Structure 1
Amino acid sequence: MKHPLRSLATRCAHAGSSDAPASENPPFHQAIAQSSLFRLGTSADAEAIFSGERPGHAYSRFGNPTVDQLANTLADLEGGSGALITSSGNAAILCAVTAAMAGRSGPLVTHPGIYGGSFELLKLLSEVYQLQVQSVDPGNSEQWNQSLTSAAAVLLETPSNPLMGLIDIAETVTRAQAGGASVIVDNTVATPYNQQPFKWGADWIIHSTSKFLNGHSDLIGGCVIKREPLTARDRAIHKNLGGTVNAMEAWLAHRGIRTFALRMQQHNLNGQAVFEWLQQRPEVATVHYPGFRDAHQIQIRDKQMTHPGALLSFELKGGLEAASRFLDRLKLIVHAVSLGGMESLATRPAGSSHRGMTPDARQVAGIPDGLIRLSVGTEDISDILEDLAQALETSP
Structure 2
Amino acid sequence: MNNDHFETNAIRTQLNRTEYQEHSVPMYLTSSFVFEDAEDMRSGFAEEKERNIYSRFTNPNTSEFVEKICKMEGAESGYAFATGMAAVFSTFAALLNSGDHIVSCRSVFGSTHGLFTRYLPKWNITTSYFKANEVHTLESLIRPETKILYAETPTNPGVDVLDLEALGAIAKKHNLILVIDNCFATPYLQQPIKFGADLVIHSATKLIDGQGRVLGGVTVGRADLIREIYLFARNTGPALSPFNAWVLSKSLETLAVRVDRHCENALKVAQFLEKHDAVNWVRHPFLPSHPQYEVAKKQMKHGGSIVAFEVKGGIAGGRRFLNSIQMCSLSANLGDTRTIVTHPASTTHSKLAEEDRLEVGITDGLVRVSVGLENVEDVLADLEQALQTAVKRAKVGSHTSESSDA
Equivalences for residues 186-335 of structure 1 within 5 A:
186-228=181-223, 232-290=227-285, 292=287, 297-335=292-330
Residue 43 of structure 1 and its aligned partner are, at CA, apart by 1.8
Give the one of 5, 11, 14 matched to 1:13.
Answer: 11
Aligned to 1:157: 152
TM-superposed deviation, 1:170: 1.4
**Structure 2 partner of 1:125:** 119
State whether residues 18 and 27 of structure 1, in contact with CA within 8 Å, keep that contact through their aligned partners in structure 2.
Answer: no
1:81–1:227 contact (8 Å) kept in structure 2: yes
* C-alpha distance 352-295 of structure 1, shift in aligned 2 (>3 A): closer
Q: For residue 359 of structure 1, report the CA deviation from its aligned partner.
A: 3.6
Shift of 1:231: 5.3
Q: Which residue of 2 aligns with 1:112?
A: 106
Which amino acid in the other structure matches residue 133 of structure 1? Answer: T
Go from structure 1 to structure 2 and tell me whether the alpha carbon gap of 1:230 and 1:305 turns closer, same or farther (over 3 Å shift): same
Using the size of structure 1 for normalisation, the TM-score is 0.92
CA contact (8 A) 2:95 2:225 kept: no
- Are 1:95 and 2:90 an aligned pair? yes
Instruction: Tell me which moved more, 298-307 or 185-194.
Output: 298-307
8 Å contact from structure 2 (residues 322, 386) kept in 1: yes
Shift of 1:25: 5.5
What's 1:379 paired with?
374
Contact 1:209 1:220 in 2 (8 A): yes
Tell me the equivalent position of 2:33: 38
Cα offsets for 1:68-124 (capped at 9, x unmatched)? 11111111111111111011111111122234436x964111011111121122222
- Kindly indicate whether the alpha-carbon contact (under 8 Å) linking 2:3 and 2:9 is maintained by their aligned counterparts in 1: no
CA distance in 1, matches of 2:219, 2:353: 28
Partner AA of 1:168 in structure 2: D
- After the TM superposition, which of the residue ranges 35-44 and 318-327 deviates more from structure 2? 35-44
Q: Give the conservation status (yes or no) of the 8 Å contact 2:100–2:124.
A: no
Mapped to 2, the partners of 1:229 and 1:210 lie a distance apart of 26
The 1:128/1:293 distance shift into structure 2, 3 A limit, reads farther
Once structures 1 and 2 are overlaid, which stretch shifts more, 291-300 or 234-243? Answer: 291-300
Distance 1:335 1:282 in 2: 23
Structure 1: distance between partners of 2:139 and 2:228: 30
- The 10-residue stretch of structure 1 (223-232 or 324-333) with the greater mean CA deviation from structure 2: 223-232
- Identity in percent: 26
C-alpha distance after superposition, 1:216-247 (max 9, x if no partner): 10111100011445554332012223211111
Give 1:171-190 correspondences, 5 Å limit: 171-190=166-185
Show CA shifts across 1:286-340 (max 9, x none). 1122265868612211221121111011111111111111111111110111110
- Whether the 8 Å CA contact 1:115–1:354 is kept in 2: the answer is no
Residues 28 and 383 of structure 1, relative CA distance in 2, 3 Å threshold: same
User: Is the contact made by 2:6 and 2:72 (CA closer than 8 Å) also made in structure 1?
Assistant: yes
* CA–CA distance in structure 1, aligned partners of residues 93 and 278 of structure 2: 45
CA offsets per residue over residues 165-188 of structure 1, 9 Å max, x none?
111111111112222111000000
Q: Which of 126, 133, 139 is 1:139 aligned to?
A: 133
Separation in structure 2 between the aligned mates of residue 294 and residue 137 of structure 1, nearest angstrom? 19
Distance in 1 separating the partners of 2:219 and 2:382: 37
* Alignment length (residue pairs): 390
RMSD, matched Cα = 2.2
Q: Note closer, same or farther for the CA distance 1:229–1:131 as it changes in structure 2 (3 Å cut).
A: closer
Q: Which amino acid aligns with 1:197?
A: P
* Unmatched 5+ stretches in structure 2: 394-406
What corresponds to 1:395 in structure 2?
A: 392
Structure 2 counterpart SS, 1:395 = helix
Matched position secondary structure for 2:67: helix
Output the CA distance in 1 between the equivalents of 2:288 and 2:350. 25
Instruction: Call closer, same or farther: CA 1:286–1:231 in 2, change over 3 Å.
Output: closer
